[in-house]
Amino acid sequence: MSKANSMPNKLIIGNWKMNTSLADAIVLASGVRDQAEHMEKVEIVLCPPCIWLTELVHLGISPRTLPHLKLGAQNMHFEDRGAFTGEISPIMVKEVAEYVILGHSERTHILKENPELISNKLQSALDHGLTPILCLGEDRHGQEGWQRHLVQTLNYLIRGLSPEELRKMVLAYEPVWAIGSGNPARPDYVQEVVEALRSVLDPETRVLYGGSVDEKNARSYLELPNIDGLLVGGASIKLKTFLTICQIADDLSFK
């Protein structure tokens, strides 16, 4: 049985990517904070550009203020400190956030991050008590053996993790062709691929779907028996839309 059945509180991650001015970030985060007070079952994680993280902590976006509203970074280096110009370390992330997105396709495709680097980051995040959101998805579907290849890639990324570490991480299944395309994957397709990916995870690992999620299709994924939540990109920087998605997830949570 998947965690989606055994621990049914949903997880909604907002990945703001490289968007928002400081003023926009404050308006957006305050809006989420004010409504999140009335949604106590869903867990909400905002991942703004890292330069705004501290500002958002000061706004009360922190489990110290609301236990179910948290912050995440969009990336980090695996080393603790040193001569890595432009990077942020897990120790720095840990001071202001609980989660970190790793291996997003925009980093693998545009910034050429490779699986070895991503698996080092994954281990480092876990070693520092951060919750990694590991992103994984196929570039194209339909090619011979693509699903097997995806499972093999996941196996490589998580090699060496203990069952306890597997339970702590979050996997975001994000078909690359669905990200930012307005062409989301069909729920039955997501269910089938996630079932294959779950075969190498711990039954309690939380698995999310991401890729052109909006307020109209969110429910169709959140109702899937093997999906624990959503990784939302474009729709997470529209306050009303994001809050609608969070509300749907709250209604479907039973904690």
Catalytic amino acids? 104, 174
| Residue number, nearest CB to ligand PGA | 233
**Nearer Cβ to ligand PGA (165/174):** 174
Q: Given its phi and psi angles, is residue 141 left (phi above 0), alpha (psi -120 to 50 degrees) or beta?
A: beta
Site for ligand PGA (CB under 6 A): which residue of 113, 174, 228, 250? Answer: 174
The CB-of-170 to ligand PGA minimum distance in angstroms stands at 12
Tell me if 212 contacts ligand PGA by CB under 6 A: yes
Tell me if 154 contacts ligand PGA by CB under 6 A: no
What residues from 234 to 253 belong to the interface with ligand PGA (CB under 6 A)?
234-235
Are 3 and 205 a contacting pair, CB within 8 Å? yes
In the structure encoding, which two tokens stand for residue 126, read together? 């876990």
Site for ligand PGA (CB under 6 A): which residue of 179, 190, 197, 224? Answer: 179
At residue 57, the 3 state secondary structure works out as: helix
**Nearer Cβ to ligand PGA (53/232):** 232
Q: Of 112, 109, 92, 93, which is closest to residue 101 (Cα–Cα)?
A: 93
Tell me if 211 contacts ligand PGA by CB under 6 A: yes
**Nearer Cβ to ligand PGA (162/181):** 181
Taking CA atoms, 12 is separated from 43, 45, 47, 48, 123, in Å, by: 6, 6, 11, 14, 23
At residue 48, the 3 state secondary structure works out as: coil
Site for ligand PGA (CB under 6 A): which residue of 4, 11, 73, 231? Answer: 231
Tell me if 15 contacts ligand PGA by CB under 6 A: yes
Tell me if 75 contacts ligand PGA by CB under 6 A: no
Distance between CA atoms of residues 116 and 22, nearest Å:
34
Report, in angstroms and rounded to the nearest whole number, the Rg of the chain calculated over CA atoms.
17
Tell me if 232 contacts ligand PGA by CB under 6 A: yes
Binding range to ligand PGA, per CB under 6 A, among 83-91, 193-201, 227-235, 245-253: 227-235
Phi, psi of 43 (to 5 degrees): -100, 125
Taking CA atoms, 225 is separated from 4, 105, 163, 232, in Å, by: 6, 25, 22, 19
Please report, as ranges, the residues that interact with ligand PGA according to CB under 6 A: 15, 174, 179-180, 210-213, 231-235
